[in-house]
Amino acid sequence: MKPQVLIVGGGISGLSTAWWLAQQGVAVEIWESAPRAGGKIRSHREDGYLTEDAAALLVNFRPQVDQMITDLALNRHKHLRDENLKRYIVHHDRLTHVPMLLPALLTSSLWSLPAKLRLMVEPFIPRGAHTGESVSEFIRRRLGREILDTAMDAFVSGTLASDPDLAEAQSVLPRLTALEQRYGSLSMGMFINRVVKRRRANTADTFSFTKGMEQLLQALANSPGIHIRTGTTATRIQQEEDSWQVQGETHGSPTEVRIPQLVLSTPADTSSQLLYPMDAELGELLAGIEYAPVGVMHLGIASSAIQHRLDGTGFLVARHNRLAINGNLWMSTLFPHRAPPGKALLSSYLGGVRHPEQLQKSDEQLADEVLDSLRPLMKITGQPDYIRVRRHLQGLPLYHGQYRARLARIASRVQAMPGLELNANYIGGVSVRERIYQGQRTAQDIAARLHCNTRNRHPQQILVS
Ligand SMILES: Cc1cc2nc3c(=O)[nH]c(=O)nc-3n(C[C@H](O)[C@H](O)[C@H](O)COP(=O)(O)OP(=O)(O)OC[C@H]3O[C@@H](n4cnc5c(N)ncnc54)[C@H](O)[C@@H]3O)c2cc1C
DSSP designation for 319: G
The CA radius of gyration of the chain, in Å to the nearest whole number, is 23
Confidence of residue 463 (pLDDT cuts 50, 70, 90): very low
DSSP state of 317: -
Ligand 1 atom closest to 394 (CA) = 53
Which of 383, 382, 391, 386 lies closest to 352, judged by CA?
391
Helices (H), 288-362: 331-334
pLDDT number for residue 81: 94
The answer to whether 431 and 437 are in contact (CB under 8 A) is: no
Check whether 452 has a pLDDT greater than 80. no
Cα(295)–Cα(255) distance, integer angstroms = 34
13 lines ligand 1 (CB under 6 A): yes
State the pLDDT at residue 202.
46
DSSP letter (8 states) at residue 192: I
Q: Is the CB of 270 under 6 A from ligand 1?
A: yes
Pocket flag, ligand 1, residue 425 (CB < 6 Å) = yes
**Residue of the CA atom closest to atom 5 of ligand 1:** 55
* Cβ burial 256-281 (10 Å sphere, 16+ → b, else e): ebebbbbbbbbbbbbbbbbbeeebee
E strand segments, 147-240: 205-209, 226-230, 232-239
- Residue 304 CA to residue 323 CA, distance in Å, equals 24
Q: 138-182 pLDDT, tens per residue?
A: 999 999 998 898 888 999 988 899 999 999 999 999 999 999 988
The pLDDT value given to residue 133: 94
- Band of the pLDDT at 104, cuts 50, 70, 90? confident
How far apart CA 261 and CA 429 sit, in angstroms, is: 23
* CB 91 less than 6 A from any atom of ligand 1: no
With beta carbons less than 8 A apart as the criterion, state whether 97 and 86 touch: yes
* Residue bearing the CA closest to ligand 1, atom 6: 55
DSSP string, 343-380: EEEEEEEEETTT-GGGGGS-HHHHHHHHHHHHHHHHTB
Residue 213 Cα, ligand 1 centroid: separation in angstroms?
Answer: 12
**161 in ligand 1 pocket by Cβ < 6 Å?**
no
CA of 13 to the centre of ligand 1 (A): 8
Residue 325's closest CA among 290, 372, 293, 365? 372
> Dihedrals φ, ψ of 285, to 5°?
-60, -40
Domains of the chain (ranges plus CATH)? 5-40+216-289+400-462 (3.50.50.60), 46-53+57-82+291-397 (3.90.660.20), 100-198 (1.10.3110.10)
The pLDDT tens digits for 41-90 are: 999 999 999 999 999 999 999 999 999 999 999 999 999 999 899 999 99
- Do the Cβ atoms of 309 and 62 come closer than 8 Å? no
| Amino acid 252: pLDDT | 87
Do residues 102 and 189 make contact, with C-beta atoms less than 8 angstroms apart? no
Which of the listed residues 432, 433, 434, 436 should we mutate to test ligand 1's pocket, taking the one with most ligand atoms within 8 A of CB?
A: 432
Give the per-residue pLDDT at 203.
Answer: 60
Pair type for strands 86-91 and 312-316:
parallel
Q: Whose CA is nearest to atom 17 of ligand 1?
A: 55
Q: How large is the average pLDDT for residues 116-127?
A: 88
Q: What is the pLDDT of residue 458?
A: 44
**Distance of CA 40 from the midpoint of ligand 1 (Å):** 4
The mean per-residue pLDDT over the stretch 425-429 comes to 97
Which of 6-20, 59-73, 133-147, 336-350 is the least confident region? Answer: 133-147
Q: Is the distance from the beta carbon of residue 333 to the nearest atom of ligand 1 less than 6 Å? A: no
Q: CB of 34 closer than 6 A to ligand 1?
A: yes
Which residue would you say has higher pLDDT here, 289 or 151?
289
Q: Which residues have C-beta within 8 Å of that of residue 125, sequence separation ≥ 6?
A: 141, 142, 185
In this prediction, residues 247-256 reach a mean pLDDT of 95
**pLDDT for residue 416 is more than 80:** yes
Q: Give yes or no for residue 91 having a pLDDT over 80.
A: yes
